[in-house]
Each structure stands twice: as structure tokens, then as C-alpha cells.
Amino acid sequence: MSVLLRSFSSTAAATAVAASIFSSSSSSSALSVAALLISCRSLRSLEQIHARIIRKGLEQHPVLATRFLSFCAAFSAPAYASSAFDRLSAPNLIVWNALLTAHARHSPLPTTVALFNLLRRRSPLPPDAFTFPSLLSSCSHSVALSLGSSVHATILRCGLEADVFVRTALIDFYGKCRELGAARKLFDSMRHRNEVSWTAMIVGYLSSGDLASARSLFDEMPKRNVVTWNAMIDGYVKSGDLVSARHFFDKMPERNAVSYTSLIDGYAKAGDLASARVLFEQLPERDVFSWSAMISGYAQNGQPGAALKIFLEMYNQNIKPDEFVVVGLMSACSQLGSLTLAKWVDLYVTRSSIDLSKAHVLAALIDMNSKCGNMERAASLFESMPNKDLISYCSLMQGYSLHGAGDKAVGLFRQMLEEGLMPDSITFTVVLAACSRAGLVEEGRQYFDLMTNEHLIVPSPDHYACMVDLLGRAGRLTDAYELIRSMPVEPHAGAWGALLGACRLHGDISLGETIARKLFEIEPTNAGNYVLLSNIYAVADRWADVSELRTMMRGKGIRKVPGYTWI
DNA sequence: GTAGGGTTAG
């Protein structure tokens, strides 16, 4: 669509095209509205044009109506398309097809199927070769094998299987449903194939992980386009073979933003932000997907500052964010933990046109508010969810736990169990940490037992670290030490650190020394451990030991980072 | 003689 919009961006070109669309017998007002429609660039201006269509009495014009519906599709407004369609007194098949396409691209599959059945009953003509490709594409996206197969049966009854578009859509459908045999049979028996048919078949192999078949078909095909090359790059990226992906990227005759973005995504997911950044800088025309790849790349690799910087660059260029951009942004903001920033981002996301009811957007929004300490907002967002999931429960629980309301977090966990949700390994980490912060020793032990005995979850080093912290804070240092020593898995620094913190809290010098020695081995450069032990000595007035420790630190070149608190 | 609707890559 954006290509279409760009090519028609000049008013002169738009008028010329509009003139060619409408014969001299049409009214000049229909022509001028058609010109407006063609240069329409936003849903807002589409609405204004729609008002004009109604005012001028052109609502029933079939060509204008069809164009209008395809613009609704381009601006992801299927409901708007339906409302305009419902005002048509006698829609023809072409208009029906345009409406179906708008829904196939943007509505859930059941809605699209219901519309298709309506079309079959109400359209003046039976479905044609233009009807099925978008319907099948919707089935492909949902991987709805049995539904798509029945659509295939209808296609056979209508005698439309030979049409290149229909056949290609069928190949794509069977390929995405991993029915490679059916797809290949349709592909091999085609009389005329185009690059799209070849690419659909290749994508089928790629999505089922058969890189070799995809590659041999790629080599066989007579003519490739940029989509074919990009499909191969994406296939290699998804299989983790960045070297081959890079090879194809370097070899392709011309690249577009998708080529770059797939590879940027690959590098970012592999943690190679440097390579991703180089490609991003080379990319001549960045679209929202390219920005999104960099922002979420930095966010997922624990570089929230860099993510924020890229976002600001995007923001200053007035590029409209999509849901992936804002999820990346919110994730970066969660990591930074700044309430001021979170409030700005919240307002920005709320005011944008992004659908907040989408599960991953809402989850990120709750998580950000939760981690940044805006618990009222996090809780009200959570309450607004009709179907609360594990992720949102965990976000809220973690927020309460982090901000000193461990009891509220535990209450939420009980509520979650009552609702019949199955806690997973991460949920238990969160609730155990909450118990530890709230000093709920017995409850924590119970949940640890529940996790291992009833949910059969093997405790991870994180779970043990929480339990050590729980026991340690409650002063049960011996129990904590026993637990850490009885662990079937190797304890990480977090577990030992929790115990060292507990030793300081309860002034246990000898155990503290033992633990500290262990920690100096595991993470010799963490200043926090030396500081903790030094505090233990200081409380006990053992100043000679304090000064000896400081000498040791100086000897190893370790300096306490000012303002850095060790949790 | 004529408009307008369709399939593949992130």
C-alpha cells in the first residue's frame, strides 16, 4: 500500500489517474473525490473524504465504494469498511470482494469466514477467483488446516483451482500448515507459475524448517524477486544460520528495508548489537520495522539506555510507532526503573493509536508501571483485563514485592491459584522472592513444597537463592546454609550473596567470613561482597580486619562504585 | 471499448 501511496503522492498524478478511472459520463464531483481518495494518506483524511462522498450523494457509486473499501483495508479499519458497506443498497461482487479483503487482512478468521458465507448468500454473483486468495491468506495466517481444506473444496466446486492467484494462495496455505506434500503437488501441476508461486512454495519449506528443499527450489527458479531473497534471508535467520543469511544478503541484486531488517533482527537476537547497528546505519530508508528491530534488540540485550536513544531519534523524525516499538520502549523503561520516564511513556502509548487491549502491549505496560513504582496504575490496568494471564499476574506481583508490599504480592498469588491458573517456574521465583521480602517464612516454605511436590517443577538456582534469602532474613542462618549446601545444582553468586547479606543483618561473623571467601572466588571483582564483609567486621568493632580487607581490595584493584547499591 | 477487488518476505 505504501508503494501505491507514494506513487500517487503528487496531486497531478492523482488527478490523471482519477480521470482515467472515470469516463466522461461520470460527474466531475465523483472524479474530484476519486482524486482525493488516491492521495489520501491517513485514516483521518479518509474519514473526511467519506463525509464528502456522502454529502455529494456518491455513496452508491460502485467504483468509488470499492476504492474506499480498499483504503479502509490499507489503514487497518475493517469495522469502518463494514459500516460504509452496510449503507450500499446493491453491492456487486467486486465490492464484496474488497470488503472481504479488508477483513481477511485485519479481522479474526471467524469474522472473515462469517463474511464469506454472507457473500455467498447475498452477492449477486457467486465467488470468483478474486474472492479466494485473501480468504485463504487469512486461513494461512491462522494455520487453520481443516477450514482451509473446506475452502479448497469450494474452490474445486467453483472450478477456480487453475487460477494462478488462487493456486498460489493454496500453495501458501498448505505450506504454512506444514502440508508440504499437498503444496508441492499443487505447485508441480501448475501450468503457469510466477515468482510469487515459487516464493510461496519456498516459504512453505522454510516455515517447516526444510532449508535444503527451499535452497534447491531457490536455485532452480528461473526468476527471483526481492521477496524471494528476503524469504531466504529470514529462513536462515530463523534457523540461526546468520552466516548463510549474510551470504544471501550480500549476494542479492537489490535490497529493500525488509532485507536489512531481517538481518538486523537476526544479529540483535544473537546479541550482536554492533553488527545490527552497522546495518541499521547503512539502511537508506528506515521504516517502523527497522526502528523496532533496533529498539527491541537493545532492550532485550539489557541496554535500555541505547534503546531509549534510538527511540528518541525515531520520535524526532515523527515516525508513528507500532506495537512492537512501544513494547520495546516500555521494556527499556522497566529496566531503567524511572517513574518520571514511565509516566511519560505511559501517556505517549495511551495517546497513540496502538491497541492497548493486545495482550503483549498491556503486559508490557503493566510491567513498566509495576517496575517503576506506579502501582496504582499497574493495578488498575490489571483490573481492567477480562482474562488475566500468568504474565500480568507476575508483573504485578513483582511490582508489589519490589516496592515493599510483599504481602500484597502473596495475596495476588493466592488469587491466581483460586482462579485456576497454573503457576510456572518464573511465577514461583516471583512469589518466593515476595515471601522473603515480606518475611513470610512458613508461607515461602509451603510454596516451595507446592512447586516441587505438586507442580513437579525442578527448583532452579534462582528458586534456591530465594529460599536462602527467605531463611537468612528470618535469621535462620544455619538452615539457609544447610539448604545451599544440599542443593543438587550449583548455587550462583545470588544465593551466596543473599546469605552474606543475612550474615551482616544478623551479625554472624564466622559464617559471613566463610561465605565471603566463597564469593571472592566466584566473583572476585564484585565490590559489594567486600563491602558487606567489611560492614560485618565494622559492626563487631573488628577494625583491623576492616583495614586488612581494604588493603586486599586495593591490591586487586577493586573500587566501590559510588552510589551503587548491591541488592 | 471502459473503471473497482486477489497471492509471497519483517
Half-sphere exposure of A16 (CA within 13 A, CB side): 7
pLDDT above 90: residue A334: yes
Task: Report if CB A520 to strand B is under 7 Å.
Answer: no
Question: Does residue A513 belong to any structural domain of this protein?
Answer: yes
Question: Does residue A84 belong to any structural domain of this protein?
Answer: no
Task: Report if CB A165 to strand B is under 7 Å.
Answer: yes
The domain of A521 spans 459-566
Question: Does residue A508 belong to any structural domain of this protein?
Answer: yes
Question: Does residue A378 belong to any structural domain of this protein?
Answer: no
Question: Does residue A463 belong to any structural domain of this protein?
Answer: yes
Instruction: Please give the radius of gyration of chain A, using alpha carbons only, rounded to the nearest integer.
Output: 30
Phi, psi (rounded to 5 degrees) for A499:
-70, -40
Give the distance, in angstroms, between residue A112 CA and nucleotide B4 C1': 21
Question: Does residue A214 belong to any structural domain of this protein?
Answer: no
CATH number of the domain encompassing residue A470: 1.25.40
Give nucleotides in strand B with any atom < 7 A to a protein C-beta.
1-10
Each residue's pLDDT tens digit, A278-327 = 999 999 899 999 999 999 999 999 999 999 999 999 999 999 999 999 99
Name A residues 242-281 whose Cβ lies under 7 Å from strand B: 256-259, 261-262, 265
Nucleotide nearest to A206 (CA to C1'): B9
Task: Report if CB A395 to strand B is under 7 Å.
Answer: no
Q: For residues A371 and A366, give the distance between their C-alpha atoms in angstroms, rounded to a whole number.
A: 9
Q: What is the pLDDT of residue A560?
A: 64
Task: Report if CB A131 to strand B is under 7 Å.
Answer: yes
Q: Are A175 and A187 in contact (CB under 8 A)?
A: no
pTM of the model: 0.82
Q: For residues A68 and A52, give the distance between their C-alpha atoms in angstroms, rounded to a whole number.
A: 12
Buried b (16+ CB within 10 A) or exposed e, A210-238: bbebbbebbeebeebbebbbbbbbbbbbb
| DSSP summary character for residue A558 | -
Each residue's pLDDT tens digit, A496-548 = 888 888 888 888 888 788 888 888 887 877 787 788 788 887 877 888 888 88
- What confidence tier does A561 reach under pLDDT thresholds 50, 70, 90? low
Question: Does residue A301 belong to any structural domain of this protein?
Answer: no
Give first-to-last CA distance, chain A, whole Å.
51
Give the distance, in angstroms, between residue A477 CA and nucleotide B8 C1': 63
Q: Are A416 and A423 in contact (CB under 8 A)?
A: yes
Half-sphere exposure of A398 (CA within 13 A, CB side): 21
pLDDT above 60: residue A2: no
**Which residue is closest to B1 in terms of CA–C1' distance?**
A23
Look at chain A and report how many structural domains it folds into: 1
Question: Does residue A394 belong to any structural domain of this protein?
Answer: no
Name the more confident of A15 and A511.
A511
